[in-house]
Amino acid sequence: MSRPRVFVAGATGYTGRHLVRSCAARGVETVAHVRPDSPRLAEWRRDFAAMDAAVDTTPWERGAMADMLRRRRPTHVFMLVGTTRARGRRAARARRPAETYTSVDYALPHLLIAAATDAAVRDPSVRPVLVYLSGVGAREDTRNAYLRVRGVVERELRESGLPWLAVRPSFITGGDREERRPLERAAAAAIDLLLVPLALLGARRLRARYASLHGAELADGLMRVTLDDGRVGRVVTADELR
Ligand SMILES: NC(=O)c1ccc[n+]([C@@H]2O[C@H](COP(=O)([O-])OP(=O)(O)OC[C@H]3O[C@@H](n4cnc5c(N)ncnc54)[C@H](OP(=O)(O)O)[C@@H]3O)[C@@H](O)[C@H]2O)c1
């Protein structure tokens, strides 16, 4: 494999920050994407510079992203963007543009897949591996919007013509997450607890697949399945990330 160069969309999120830190610490050329209108742009520039990562502020527009990918030529594009219902409510209260699973969790990876495809058509030597952080249970035929958009993005990856990986963790938790998310943490803790006796009864694989992952553990797992393993065109479950 050529020398890895990673581009991380969603670099300012919990998983993104861990991934940028881990990749840069390993000496991998790392670009952290920050939305250009981020109110914390100066802070992110400082934090990512301290990690030895570059910052990119290309706007979320298909043409601009395609040009950026042709210029930067990443070997891997990580898609770690997403919103929550709580963030959506905060956006509505502040009269900001709507933030929903459709407008963020679907629309942004969809745009990035299209931009990467455009870049590859213009310059066939640009063929990044698209690494999508999906979720356990992702499928198109469900009324659950969170899982459905993940199922749709996974299909678009398969149809993109580019190398891809869809990574399906269960809960991603950790005391070092900036946002508190008490319900998510409680649900993760309850499931983790339930999986202990099951693992003792022999269902170790079940536990490895469904127990929560800490951000640092997930970042290490992501690097292993992308930069070290190199197999593409497949779904990666959480047991492979531990
Ligand atoms: N949490 C879990 O248990 C879990 C489990 C499985 C899968 N996942 C999925 O894995 C992905 C990463 O999860 P995470 O917990 O690390 O995410 P996170 O901490 O919530 O970070 C979300 C990222 O998405 C960006 N983002 C959100 N809304 C945006 C918008 N309107 N425009 C541009 N960027 C936007 C954020 O940028 P700003 O900082 O600029 O807002 C941030 O970089 C998400 O898709 C999530 O749904 C999560």
Can you give the pLDDT at residue 1?
60
Separation of alpha carbons 225 and 22, rounded Å: 14
Question: Which protein residue has the closest C-alpha to ligand 1 atom 48?
Answer: 172
pLDDT by residue for the chain (242 residues), tens only, comes to: 679 999 999 999 999 999 999 999 999 999 999 999 999 999 999 999 999 999 999 999 999 999 999 999 999 999 999 999 999 999 999 999 999 999 999 999 999 999 999 999 999 999 999 999 999 999 999 999 999 999 999 999 999 999 999 999 999 998 899 888 888 899 999 989 988 888 888 888 888 899 999 999 999 999 999 999 989 999 999 999 99
12 lines ligand 1 (CB under 6 A): yes
Question: Which protein residue has the closest C-alpha to ligand 1 atom 30?
Answer: 104
- What pTM was computed for the model? 0.97
Q: Which atom of ligand 1 is nearest to the CA of 136?
A: 6
CA of 151 to the centre of ligand 1 (A): 17
Question: Which protein residue has the closest C-alpha to ligand 1 atom 28?
Answer: 83
